[in-house]
Amino acid sequence: MHLMISRVEGIGDVCLTLPAIGYVKQLMPECKISMLVSPYSQAVARSCHWLDDVVVLEPNQPVSDIASFLTSLHISHFVHVTANKTLAKAAKMARITHRVGLAGRHYHWLSCTQLLWMSRAKSGFHEAYFNLLFLARSLGLTETNYDTMRQNLVEWSGFSPSPNLSDEVNTPVQVLLHPYSRGHGREWPISQFAELAEKLIARGMKPVIGGTSADFQSFQRSQHLFPDSCQLVFGQDSLDAYLKRIANSGALVASGTGPLHIASVMGQRCVGIFPPRKVVNSRRWGALGPLSRNLELSSACQKECSNTECECMAKISADMVINALTELLQTQQLHTNTVS
């Protein structure tokens, strides 16, 4: 059996599919599992030791070329965790025997051999648990519960590198701040990241501020708010190198972005900041790792905000973040449960 999981999306989306892959491997250890991903997120997929192969989908390929390539891989089961019309056509053209997709996508009715009546938005499930249920139902496997998934998150994610949680490394402790989301989610105000940086320095820690080269262009407008002793690493790392930087840091602070989920599934200390709004809140996208903390206002918000100007995000104070970090940094050893 050769299972191909299609997740041609961002870093966080791929991260939150890894626990489901590990779960399938526990139940079907002989199954070959491949993952179809975008060039941007391939380093994350390659960090999962449960995957037998990672296949990169280059952009703007004709359907016929994709179909020919899929045929050459001898896939028996193709699961559209990401709904993609082009890939749906290609998988059908490749005559893959079992093709599974969500019934809510009309083109799946013409291209899939099995439809699942599930909805991410309506389920109320965390994205990682939805993905696990989706794969389990696609393959007819026993479904585990949410709590069991959380207990086994690091093991099932199979992510490397693993964080070094020793207090003997990086003295002073380096805290990686990742302030931007590439426009994909609500962001904590940059002025409050600056306030957090000052508080970290006052406590003997070293703020390291990271992101892409494009993020640095935005950051330059606010750089004057930050202490000069902050280390800036925007655009310096490949994604592989940034994974290692996350692992070697003392902790990470971000909104609901890919790096937060990387830290979470590898078992690194991390603090996520979220708006109290359905579909984008921590219930759907929060960090689930054993050393993760999610900060979110308790009262639900219905106000329309932009990703860069959200009143609810602004109400999460730097003191709240520093308190969560202090609690996490007192934890020097990671305890993970074995698979049951």
**DSSP letter assigned to residue 210:** -
The pLDDT value given to residue 240: 94
Per DSSP, the three-state class of 55 is strand
Instruction: Report all structural domains of the chain as residue ranges with CATH numbers, in order of start.
Output: 2-157 (3.40.50.2000), 174-329 (3.40.50.2000)
Per DSSP, the three-state class of 272 is strand
Question: How many CB atoms lie under 10 A from the CB of residue 177?
Answer: 24
Q: Do β-strands 98-102 and 114-116 pair in parallel, antiparallel, or remain unpaired?
A: parallel
Reference 26, options 123, 143, 110, 129; nearest CA is: 143
Contact 141, 77 (CB under 8 A): no
| 5 membership: H or E segment, kind and range | strand 2-6
**DSSP letter assigned to residue 96:** -
Reference 246, options 199, 324, 178; nearest CA is: 178
Contact 250, 272 (CB under 8 A): no
The pLDDT value given to residue 339: 30
pTM for the full model? 0.92
pLDDT in single tens digits along all 340 residues of the chain? 999 999 999 999 999 999 999 999 999 999 999 999 999 999 999 999 999 999 999 999 999 999 999 999 999 999 999 999 999 999 999 999 999 999 999 999 999 999 999 999 899 999 999 999 999 999 999 999 999 999 999 999 999 888 876 554 556 799 999 999 887 788 999 999 999 999 999 999 999 999 999 999 999 999 999 999 999 999 999 999 999 999 999 999 999 999 999 999 999 999 999 999 888 899 999 999 999 999 999 887 777 777 777 888 999 999 999 999 999 988 753 433 323 2
Per DSSP, the three-state class of 103 is coil
- CA angle (263, 265, 271) in 5-degree steps: 40
CA dihedral of residues 191, 193, 196, 200 (deg, nearest 10): -130
Contact 251, 324 (CB under 8 A): no
The pLDDT value given to residue 338: 29
**DSSP letter assigned to residue 78:** E
The pLDDT value given to residue 145: 98
**DSSP letter assigned to residue 337:** P
Residue 2 phi, psi dihedral angles, 5° rounding: -125, 110
Q: Would you state the structure tokens that stand for residue 105, as one six-digit string?
A: 């996508």
Residue 271 phi, psi dihedral angles, 5° rounding: -120, 120
| 176 membership: H or E segment, kind and range | strand 174-178
